[in-house]
Amino acid sequence: MQKAHGVKIAVEIFDLKCKQLSKTRFPNIFVKNQKELFSDWFEDGIPYPITHLGANDHPDTIIQNVGFELKSLKTNGQIQFNSTIPTGRFHHRSVDGECYYAIARYVEDRSFGQLHDFTICYGDFFNFDHEFAHAHMNSQEKNFGDYGDGVVRYRKMYSFPTPTKQVPGVSLILDTENAERFNPNLILDSYISRYEKDSRAERRFFIYRHKLVIS
């Protein structure tokens, strides 16, 4: 039930964002004074209460018990994840649920950065082993320094390729087939096969487009 609910919310938000993009295809999401506008654009118009977690918590927001981590980048290179392994479920204290990643690639145009590529991607596209991801713990060294009152924190940084490199334009990436049943505006474009590194088992992720947006 949680999986279907997560897909439904992700599809609903994707539909909302695409309707906005059909009116303004290249909105400004980043300005050179380092003010980040992607989160404002993403949250605009969402008809549900939005829970914001702390600056260093994951995911950035929880909407209807579904997690959304927001990432924006200028290139189609790697996405940095600070101390968190990206995956398809989040666990934050006593709350857990499905986890999606809203990713924008912006292109600088004079003093603005315009959104060009945008995807909402199910977290299993990055990693499917939820238990392994949640078992990760940052460590710290106490009793540090000449007086023993210092603490050294060890925080790992994870880096994964952005899905927008493989799937340019505007897309919704799910491991769910027939997601059109949730919204008639979805169009199944194609799929990407990802192969587990040890068993070489295939995992398919389906790429959906929106009827109102030309990618």
pLDDT tens sequence across 43-55: 999 999 999 987 7
Least confident of 73-77, 140-144, 167-171, 176-180: 73-77
Per the prediction, the chain carries an average pLDDT of 92
The pLDDT of 130-157, averaged and rounded, is: 89
Q: In this structure, is residue 65 part of a structural domain?
A: yes
pLDDT score for 34:
65
**Domain interval for residue 158:** 2-210
Q: How far apart are CA 62 and CA 69, in angstroms?
A: 9
pLDDT score for 27:
93
Q: Return the half-sphere exposure (C-beta side, CA atoms, 13 A cut-off) of residue 156.
A: 10
Q: In this structure, is residue 41 part of a structural domain?
A: yes
Q: In this structure, is residue 215 part of a structural domain?
A: no
pLDDT score for 31:
74
Q: In this structure, is residue 158 part of a structural domain?
A: yes
Q: Where are the beta strands (DSSP E) in the chain?
A: 28-31, 50-52, 61-63, 66-73, 78-82, 89-92, 95-109, 112-122, 139-144, 150-154, 157-161, 170-174, 186-195, 202-210
pLDDT score for 214:
83
CA torsion 105→41→36→60, rounded to 10°? -90
Confidence of residue 32 (pLDDT cuts 50, 70, 90): low
Pick the residue with more confidence: 114 or 35? 114
Is 90 exceeded by the pLDDT of residue 116? Answer: yes
Confidence of residue 12 (pLDDT cuts 50, 70, 90): very high
The pLDDT of 131-135, averaged and rounded, is: 90
Confidence of residue 175 (pLDDT cuts 50, 70, 90): very high
Q: In this structure, is residue 110 part of a structural domain?
A: yes
The pLDDT of 120-130, averaged and rounded, is: 97
Give the pLDDT confidence of 76-102 residue by residue, as tens digits.
889 999 878 999 999 877 788 999 999
Pick the residue with more confidence: 199 or 32? 199
Q: In this structure, is residue 97 part of a structural domain?
A: yes
Highest-pLDDT range among 31-40, 102-111, 128-137, 165-174: 165-174
pTM, full prediction: 0.93
Q: In this structure, is residue 186 part of a structural domain?
A: yes
* Number of domains present in the structure of the chain: 1
Q: In this structure, is residue 46 part of a structural domain?
A: yes
